[in-house]
Structure 1
Amino acid sequence: MAKSSAPAERWPTKEDIDAARTRMEAAIPGWERPYAYGLALFNSEDETIFPVVNVGAGHLPAAVLATVCGHTGGTAVHPLEPEQIEEAIRLLEPAEACPDYEHPNLRAWRWILDEIVDPDDWAVAVFVADPADPVIDIHDARFRALIAGR
């Protein structure tokens, strides 16, 4: 997979990241922050692998992921093409300039992109608005099992 190019801007402080998050969230019509979200690799062995499970945190990566898959709110599952993951990485990369965060989502998204090598491999974004919402599919069920096990 092709890697995204170096980001044009940088967000070296927590304030810069907060400002970027505010801008990104404002650009999503009707945006509602999810209770939990994650990006997973679904592979040819029928595994749904979530390298990072975000519950009540990571609001900038949530907005980035929502931007690339068209999510505005509610509980939903979105399949993503490698190009969408590349775009998400490109949009989140400026945050790497801030040493105050470890950037686990960015590392996970790069890993997922690298792992999509077989035509039966793909990525899926899961957003859970409320843990009481009905489960949508197997990916959502696997994600919620991870949340429950936290």
Structure 2
Amino acid sequence: MSEAWVTDGELLAAQERFAAQIPGFVMPVAYGVARADASVLSFGHVNAPGAVRPLPAVVLASVCGYVATTGVYRLDHAQFAKVVERLAPAEAATHMPHPNLWSWRDLLTDAGADSTFLGFFVAAVDDPPVDQYDAQFRHLLAP
């Protein structure tokens, strides 16, 4: 890893750089990732309303295509590996945990040849689920 984001200022600058590359980007109210193995979903860290970590959200969006609309975005192994690679410099900020990065690495490590990944973005809390996978994700957001 050649780049390292150590300070809060560096993390914020990285977030702003990624967001600037996505015209119209709107921070989601909730997001997460799951690995799909056949019809079974294994979820990584869930970023529920009120607990969204912005940098991982915008890094994930930069690869999967989220801009401002609730949706489920499919990623192949290489695309999801790119997300993890792009977020890795944040780990240099040792003064805070990185649950998205850590859980996403686990999802990637445990992936099989037929695994795919799903990025979930919820733009507004009252948006209905877009499919059955999104419904499973929304269940995890319930208090």
Q: TM > 0.5 between the two?
A: yes
Give the deviation of 1:30 after TM superposition: 0.5
Tell me whether 1:96 sits opposite 2:91 in the alignment: yes
Structure 1 moving runs of 4+ over 4 Å: none
- Tell me, yes or no, if the aligned pair for 1:29 and 1:72 is still in contact at 8 Å: yes
Give the deviation of 1:41 after TM superposition: 1.1
Structure 2: how far apart are the matches of 1:145 and 1:135? 10
**Alignment match, 2:136:** 142
**Alignment match, 1:53:** 46
- Structure 1 residue runs without a partner (length 5+): 1-6
Structure 2: how far apart are the matches of 1:81 and 1:38? 16
> With structure 1 as the length reference, what TM-score do the two structures score?
0.89
- Tell me, yes or no, if the aligned pair for 1:52 and 1:108 is still in contact at 8 Å: yes
Tell me whether 1:111 sits opposite 2:106 in the alignment: yes
How big is each residue's C-alpha offset from its partner over 1:86-139, in whole Å with a ceiling of 9 and x where there is no partner? 1111111110100122111111111111122142x2110000011211210111
My pick for the range that moved more, 88-97 or 46-55, is 46-55
Tell me whether 1:21 sits opposite 2:15 in the alignment: yes
Write out aligned runs for 1:2-21 (5 A): 7-21=1-15
SS of alignment partner, residue 42 of structure 1 = strand
SS of alignment partner, residue 48 of structure 1 = strand
How big is each residue's C-alpha offset from its partner over 1:9-68, in whole Å with a ceiling of 9 and x where there is no partner? 111111110111111111111100001000101112x22221211024210000000001
Structure 2: how far apart are the matches of 1:82 and 1:73? 24
**Alignment match, 1:82:** 77
SS of alignment partner, residue 67 of structure 1 = helix
RMSD: 1.1
